[in-house]
Structure 1
């Protein structure tokens, strides 16, 4: 996988770049950044495991989500290790509106396939935004953290591709319009003000 090509693809897939004001806030709140990053890795592993339990008949999904869950838990361990090195204590944080707001867009009922397709597209969006933010942050961070964030780009890029590929594979018709609808919802969350800083939060409210 050509990493630069994947980053270019992700930047085209996302409808907006991370605002500079968010990057500035992240550099001021690196402890919160790390704590919420750890939380995001746990939640990503949980999402993959939930899909594993719910879709036992989809072999490709089982294989990809099993691998994804393992990688996300490894990333969680790595973030916690960096936090320990820096004296950052792991604690509970309120969740950002980002993932929950996206999941409110998921279609329920019907034959069940619409719900799965939406969950997979949203998974692709979350992984794509994570990858984009790691790339945005790494030039501004100390050498240790920058190296770690750069090391995550390849796996996060693959997770984005896996989610989007599965969504297209399991769809019975073209889903381009649905992808565009969810991309627009994701863009709005990134560009509108957030009162609390989190890894996936929007523009800081004071900006």
Structure 2
């Protein structure tokens, strides 16, 4: 049903989510949900930051405004699921995933903007891929919720990538490949901390 929607996502990412991460996510659903809420809030903040930094880019302003509203709506939905399950929402220490990707951003414009947009596309694509891969292992409520997010996450990925192409001085394929490989290295690396965008759980590496 979702194969056509997910095909470009899978082609864009340089690796799939390891099964060991899926196993850990199923075991740690409370942390999964809390960090999912945090990720939605951060995604909205990232969109707002782009709007403040690049006020002259009208296409970016429109896309980021829409994205921020959608991400905040998703945040509200996750918080409601937490409330229904008697789980208190709290701030967790972040994974190093996003920070490591941001370190790869070039320092001159428009290259910096292009890199930020490609990274945004990678994060949205990874979220979409993980929602789809996780869904079959979750209860009916979470399964339906995560599947309901696929279209918006895939659209966010496509919007980010389209703007990266629009604002670049040249072809972005090599830069996409470079950043995708960096993203994959983080997803496949041993990670002592479980988060929505963390790598392979340490326990799985030991086993």
TM-score bucket (shorter structure): over 0.9
Residue 134 of structure 1 aligns with which residue?
131
Query: CA–CA distance in 2 between the matches of 1:192 and 1:118?
Result: 22
**Alpha-carbon shift at residue 137 of structure 1 (Å):** 0.5
Match status 1:77 vs 2:58: no
1:6, CA displacement in angstroms? Answer: 2.7
Q: Per the alignment, in what secondary structure is the counterpart of residue 105 of structure 2? A: coil
Q: Which runs of 4+ in 1 moved over 2 A?
A: 2-6
Distance 2:30 2:37 in 1: 11
Q: Pick the aligned partner of 1:180 from 174, 177, 182.
A: 177
2:169 counterpart SS class: coil
The answer to whether the 8 A contact 1:121-1:167 is kept is yes
- CA RMSD of the aligned region, Å? 1.0
Alignment check: 8 A CA contact 1:3 1:154 kept: no
Secondary structure of 1:172's counterpart equals coil
Q: Note if contact 1:31-1:88 (Cα within 8 Å) is conserved in structure 2.
A: yes
Give the Cα–Cα distance (whole angstroms) in 1 for the partners of residues 2 and 154 of structure 2: 8
Secondary structure of 2:149's match?
helix
Number of residue pairs aligned between Structure 1 and Structure 2: 204
Q: Report the TM-score, using the length of structure 1 for normalisation.
A: 0.97
Displacement of 1:5 in angstroms is: 2.2
Measured after TM superposition, the shift of residue 3 of structure 1 is 4.9
The aligned residue for residue 167 of structure 1 is 164
Matches of 1:82 and 1:88, distance apart in 2: 9
Q: Following the alignment from structure 2 to structure 1, what is the Cα–Cα distance between the partners of residues 43 and 163?
A: 16
Instruction: Provide the residue aligned with 1:24 in structure 2.
Output: 23
| Counterpart selection for 2:202 from 177, 202, 205 | 205
Alignment of 1:30-179 (within 5 A): 30-108=29-107, 110=108, 112-179=109-176
User: Where does the alignment leave 5 or more consecutive residues of structure 1 unmatched?
Assistant: none
Using the alignment, how far apart are the partners of 2:2 and 2:43 within structure 1? 21
Structure 1 residues 155-188: Cα deviation after superposition (integer angstroms, max 9, x where no partner): 0000000000000000011111111000000000
Deviations 1:6-58 (A, max 9, x none): 31100111111110000000000000000000000000000000111111111
